[in-house]
Structure 1
């Protein structure tokens, strides 16, 4: 049974049982605790936490997931993959344990002919939490299995929580016995033998004081009991397709087959080398697919967070192909194979292929250069080890290659072996462990910041959602529903104090979609409040952060909420301007230039987009011109509500990482199909109202990501006015016309360069002229002609030139040594030059520089004939020159 059919049967089974099919969310959700969606329940988490009311009692989904803690184990086991699909069915206070077990067992054991998966019952073992006797009895009742076929497991295996106070509950898993070749009878810890493929979570407990996965307090029962299940699509696929592991299923193995064609190696060849090759083939299959899906959802390679994970996946895939013997660009050969298989379900992979390929292939090109640079660093390190008589590349050296230069440890080991060296793997692993522990500590710290929204949820439950009127008006008469200070209710705020205010109705826009919150005031009898920020901590509730300007604020009196109209005008101009620049960007660069993030405030917009190279001046000119032509065309701006699928069919762009309601979304269009985006922001009515769009910057914000900055409205005109004033001042100073200004400045620059060259010639001439005088005035120190000279105003290059010239002018055949110390802007430059005769007397230029370096606050070195150094303490130059005489006297006297 192919993967698509397994998926189809799962959804059909639960849809027949009254579940609402919910499409997969993006791998990127706005959750401070997660880099990626890592389980099927994640998009439903607000419902389980009680932060939002679910629009259905039962749901089913097949969710894209990525898990990254076990990247190093990918390919070594049947259980570890980075990207996977989690099939789930969910009940929100509807059915509970009995029905969940019935639905799962029915689908798993029903014959293929009847629409099930046809798993043999004699191979299946349910597991339960050891303190859940109710589940044991239900499994026996529903399946008819004897008591000894039901495994009792502890908290670590069969109790679920999110690791923070909140809902939790016991689990039941369905395990399949793969036979004695995979482990001992009854050894349920041998996961290859008794493989878990479906987990049913009975969410029934309210947890408090969560100290670890197995150490927590249960404070009571949840008011509503929920069901959360997760079934691994890839695990079911490899069991129904008769293959050994997830890497060999129909949507993954074609990548391995193509890799075999490229490398000439054979998967499953056996032996030690064959095993290593098999792991590499599996890494390629997994990482190529995972990277493609991440790029598809908007991730671009970077040095931290999500971007770092993607970069690591791509580089491990490229490295694995290289270790298999293929050194040409591999991703253009492998990723299209994965696209064709996964694109059968995720059709957007075909639609967005140009962008996905551009990001992936550019990263491979960059990594190939990294490999080249890393090889050079490795060669230097290996040479140092050998020159010292060693045979071991240290752990810190290997770690630096890995961490600083992105050089994979496997490649370091391979190259070290070829060079006759070994690697301190224990030292390397120790440093890697330290790095991982720091990362885990960071993750735990971040997890601990999970926002407690219970107080806001309580306000919402008590009063209902805020009547939000930001699209309709700038002023409302309102009443206070709650006043908070420090996250807790407070009876009043006095002048200067800051708190949070919840109104029954508000005209203020709450920050979202890149648009900052409105500014304005809320007045009451006897005083006023300044609105500092507006947020939605839970869906439906608008919370205003306010500061008391005057008076004492006590909830109860009528309030008048008023948005600053100038602020709103500027915000609308900037947000609509962002849409215009985005559309113009796609027109100038092509449809793959898609927005990956934005920020706009009154008069200013910032737009990030996926692109691998900087924009040329011509492209920036075209972008600005297309944007302003759209303003001149006075394009109508409108919006309407529709379902998410209707919006996508209509051609509306949904931004990566944003979460959208599955029932209704708001589509904003400017000029009809020219710009259609899902957006909840405030906008102008016609494009001409934006006023102007002035590009002020274009820069990189990480590999494969660029940023455009621009000004709109009055701020844009003010920027142009400032530039006009600068032009006017320059034309006045240079007595020319604006059209001739560039040429006039260019002529001046050329004249200035020419003058600087002439000055440099004169200066060098003067410097060299002094060389003869210095040589003639050389001091005899124990038979050595010595020049120790201070050259104030001379930098490193001049000091070297002077020292070498003076040495060349000393009497031929006589020992001679020259030390020149220069200083410019507090920076000291030292050069020593010694002739052959002086070296034969034991005088070394390197020794002289090393001796005087500490006196001038620096160090240096070089060869016996010429050496140089630097420092930061010019106050001791004379002392250093005196030391030169002492050192030469000592050496020559010996």
Structure 2
């Protein structure tokens, strides 16, 4: 049975049992505890925590999940995956243990012809919590499982909580016996490799207190309503129904491994190929996870979610290279994942170009990193040998891995080729410290769970009515006041609070458009200045305000007003963003899709997918097309329709965004620009005013950014530029149109003069240094050539001079030490020739020894090292010390 069929049968089973199907939430939720959604119940947490009232009493879903705490362990075993699908059924104060157990058993054991999975009941072993006699009795007396196949287990295994104070309860897990080939008899208590868990039924009936995540916490008492939360692992069931050993051999991941075999020439599962098999599994697992993350809007970066994605993509690249791939592989892996996963997630096929562009862009960047890492490795290897050691330090290996992204397994391989080993114990210790810090951070985040229950009453009332599309002032009623997370009845002048209204014209920040500014007033003298507007649960507007006058209380009648000037500038910025997006796609092609945006009055910032920079001519063309659309004065139409209908019309959706069934379409100029957008816009394109693109830059792998002014801000910017040009023309005494040529001529002349000056400076330095050869001193049989040279030389010039003197010193052992006064700084360079190094004299050691004598520091390689100090009076002492050290 294919995985997509397993998924469909689960949903069909529970829909037939009266459950509402809830589509999978995005892998990214607004939850301070979570980097990614990591369990099927996460989207339902507000209901279980009592923060919101669920709109249904029964629900079912197949939730996308990602767990990345132990990325380095992926592939080493066949049980660990970063991405998985968790099927679940949920009851909110409706049914409880009996129904949950029967629902699960029926689906697992019902025949395939009848819509079930057709699993042999004799293969299934339930477990229950130690004292849960009720669940034990249901399994034994109603389901008919023999008592010897029902095992009681302790809190660690069969008692569930979210790891923080809140709902908890016993659980009953269902295990499948894979047979004696996989381990010893005795049920899950004896061997969880043979008996694998496929379903967990959580009976959420109690409230827990503070304490450890697993066992060390107090049960405070029963919940007001009992709930059910279950989770069935789709991938694990697929292993059983497809009769394969592990998830990597199922229909979703094996095709990716097949692709890797084709690209690398290696074979998965070949004799004596354990290391290669790990790499195949890493590719298959990480490719699927990366595709799902990118599709939900995650982009590679150096922190947070983006860093996790970057690590996954880089592990794919390095695994492919270690398997023997010599060229790019990412596009093939991404395409195969999309092919296998899109039957369950059709949007992957729709976003294929964007997903591929992000992943391939990161591959290209990392291949360059690998090249740079090889140079860094060479430096570490040389330093190791110069110390007389044969082992690269754990610190060097960790720095290569953590700071430069250079994989440890490549470090090990290259070290072996260089006749060196790596202090793996030291590396592992540093990695463990890093993981420990990460886990501590994760634990700390759990205590940062924002208490959103204060907004529950407002969420239960239904959404705030947003009137801002058609009016800038609306009469409203104060539904509630919130201060420091608590409901209050009244606020006084000087207070900064949140105000919840039943209706409002003030736009809440979303879709790249920042919140409106405005005021809330009342007939009895209340004046509240609105500083920000945010959404709660995507439906309730909370106005952050400062009480300037009067006392505002819950239930008051008020007038909410938008700052008209602010709104005018905001609509110009947002509509201008649509113009720039359309122009970008016209010039760069349909692949230049949106990757993020920010617009505020008079300004817009637009991020888009692109594998290379925008040329000057392309930038000019984009600006011209956008302004031509403004001048044409296209009408702006907005309307609501179904998501599928909007896409059929050609409306563009924001990459990674989750939309509802009904969407708002903003159409400017018919086919010129049509996007799904909830923002506020001008009435016609001419109201945007001029658009001036300020610049274009890179903001990440495969993502570029343009910034622009619109309206009066654009006019003001152009006026400043015109005044600047006029001033230059006046100073140069040429017409404005000749300024660029005249400036270019001046720059060329200046560069020529600088080159001539540098040449004279170098000749002067060589002349002053020539005398140093004649005045060299002997330290045993080593010749020391040193002293102060011409002032004003920087480190680079000193290096060039030192290497020249070293070459002129001949084959005899020689050390060159040069100092130069440059303002308040004293740069210095030490160089040694091969004969001196053979006698144990190393430039790096000498620099570290003498740098303090001139009030500085430095370091470098055995052949060439440099530093910088501030005390020129110490030069003679430093030179004497070098002579002493060279002669030892």
**TM-score above 0.5:** yes
The correspondence for 1:687, drawn from 682, 685, 688, is 685
Shift of 1:296: 3.0
**CA shift in 2, pair 1:674/1:824, >3 Å:** same
- For residues 511 and 58 of structure 1, the distance between their equivalents in structure 2, rounded to whole angstroms, comes to 33
Written as runs of structure 1 = structure 2, the 5 A alignment for 1:442-453 is 442-453=441-452
- For residues 878 and 406 of structure 1, the distance between their equivalents in structure 2, rounded to whole angstroms, comes to 43
- For residues 363 and 349 of structure 1, the distance between their equivalents in structure 2, rounded to whole angstroms, comes to 19
Written as runs of structure 1 = structure 2, the 5 A alignment for 1:712-751 is 712-751=710-749
Q: Which moved more, 1:708-717 or 1:36-45?
A: 36-45
- For residues 65 and 585 of structure 1, the distance between their equivalents in structure 2, rounded to whole angstroms, comes to 34
- For residues 134 and 198 of structure 1, the distance between their equivalents in structure 2, rounded to whole angstroms, comes to 19
- For residues 844 and 381 of structure 1, the distance between their equivalents in structure 2, rounded to whole angstroms, comes to 16
SS in 1 for 2:293: helix
Shift of 1:5: 2.2
Shift of 1:419: 4.0
Shift of 1:239: 0.6
**CA shift in 2, pair 1:659/1:831, >3 Å:** closer
Shift of 1:119: 0.2
SS in 2 for 1:512: coil
Shift of 1:681: 1.7
Tell me what 2:497 maps to. Answer: 499
**CA shift in 2, pair 1:522/1:238, >3 Å:** same
Decide whether the 8 Å contact of 1:29 with 1:658 is kept in 2. no
- For residues 622 and 205 of structure 2, the distance between their equivalents in structure 1, rounded to whole angstroms, comes to 56
- For residues 887 and 430 of structure 2, the distance between their equivalents in structure 1, rounded to whole angstroms, comes to 52
Tell me what 1:477 maps to. Answer: 475
Tell me what 1:880 maps to. Answer: 875
* Mapped pair 1:146 → 2:143: no
- For residues 43 and 365 of structure 1, the distance between their equivalents in structure 2, rounded to whole angstroms, comes to 35
Decide whether the 8 Å contact of 1:860 with 1:867 is kept in 2. no
Written as runs of structure 1 = structure 2, the 5 A alignment for 1:495-894 is 495-524=493-522, 525-551=524-550, 553=552, 558-661=557-660, 663-760=661-758, 791-796=790-795, 821-830=819-828, 853-859=851-857, 869-873=866-870, 876-881=871-876, 884=879
- For residues 883 and 529 of structure 1, the distance between their equivalents in structure 2, rounded to whole angstroms, comes to 70
- For residues 720 and 502 of structure 1, the distance between their equivalents in structure 2, rounded to whole angstroms, comes to 42
Decide whether the 8 Å contact of 2:572 with 2:710 is kept in 1. yes
Tell me what 1:186 maps to. Answer: 186
Shift of 1:112: 1.4
Decide whether the 8 Å contact of 1:301 with 1:702 is kept in 2. yes
SS in 2 for 1:666: strand
- For residues 210 and 886 of structure 1, the distance between their equivalents in structure 2, rounded to whole angstroms, comes to 62
* Mapped pair 1:102 → 2:93: no
Decide whether the 8 Å contact of 1:570 with 1:601 is kept in 2. yes
Shift of 1:246: 0.8
Decide whether the 8 Å contact of 2:575 with 2:688 is kept in 1. yes
SS in 2 for 1:39: coil
Q: Deviations over 1:681-724 (max 9, x none)?
A: 22222222211222123222222222222222221221112111
Shift of 1:567: 0.7
- For residues 734 and 652 of structure 1, the distance between their equivalents in structure 2, rounded to whole angstroms, comes to 51
Q: Deviations over 1:518-558 (max 9, x none)?
A: 11122343452211112223454322222233455555664
Q: Deviations over 1:417-453 (max 9, x none)?
A: 4444333222211111111111112222223222111
Tell me what 2:399 maps to. Answer: 400
Tell me what 1:372 maps to. Answer: 371
Tell me what 2:8 maps to. Answer: 8
- For residues 225 and 691 of structure 1, the distance between their equivalents in structure 2, rounded to whole angstroms, comes to 59
Tell me what 2:44 maps to. Answer: 44
Q: Which moved more, 1:637-646 or 1:401-410?
A: 637-646
Q: How many residues in Structure 1 have an aligned counterpart in Structure 2?
A: 880
SS in 2 for 1:445: helix
Q: Deviations over 1:358-396 (max 9, x none)?
A: 332333333333333333433443344345443333221
SS in 2 for 1:534: strand
Decide whether the 8 Å contact of 2:832 with 2:864 is kept in 1. no
**CA shift in 2, pair 1:569/1:167, >3 Å:** farther
Tell me what 1:225 maps to. Answer: 226
SS in 1 for 2:561: strand
- For residues 729 and 585 of structure 2, the distance between their equivalents in structure 1, rounded to whole angstroms, comes to 37
Q: Which moved more, 1:252-261 or 1:758-767?
A: 758-767
Shift of 1:792: 4.3
Q: Which runs of 5+ in 2 are unaligned?
A: none
**CA shift in 2, pair 1:222/1:749, >3 Å:** same
The correspondence for 1:487, drawn from 485, 488, 495, is 485
- For residues 522 and 569 of structure 1, the distance between their equivalents in structure 2, rounded to whole angstroms, comes to 19
**CA shift in 2, pair 1:588/1:42, >3 Å:** farther
SS in 2 for 1:753: helix
Decide whether the 8 Å contact of 1:483 with 1:491 is kept in 2. yes
**CA shift in 2, pair 1:612/1:220, >3 Å:** farther
Q: Deviations over 1:125-150 (max 9, x none)?
A: 12222233222223334412233322
Shift of 1:269: 3.3
- For residues 805 and 4 of structure 2, the distance between their equivalents in structure 1, rounded to whole angstroms, comes to 83
Decide whether the 8 Å contact of 2:52 with 2:453 is kept in 1. no
SS in 1 for 2:215: coil
Tell me what 2:315 maps to. Answer: 316
Shift of 1:114: 1.8
SS in 2 for 1:198: strand
Tell me what 2:241 maps to. Answer: 240
Shift of 1:577: 1.9
- For residues 326 and 804 of structure 1, the distance between their equivalents in structure 2, rounded to whole angstroms, comes to 41
**CA shift in 2, pair 1:66/1:652, >3 Å:** farther
Q: Which moved more, 1:222-231 or 1:574-583?
A: 222-231
Shift of 1:403: 1.4
**CA shift in 2, pair 1:855/1:133, >3 Å:** same
**CA shift in 2, pair 1:469/1:336, >3 Å:** closer
SS in 1 for 2:536: coil
Decide whether the 8 Å contact of 2:474 with 2:559 is kept in 1. yes
Normalised TM-score (structure 1): 0.88
**CA shift in 2, pair 1:30/1:621, >3 Å:** farther
- For residues 720 and 73 of structure 1, the distance between their equivalents in structure 2, rounded to whole angstroms, comes to 56
Q: Deviations over 1:178-201 (max 9, x none)?
A: 112222222414222111112222
Q: Which runs of 5+ in 1 are unaligned?
A: none
Shift of 1:565: 0.6
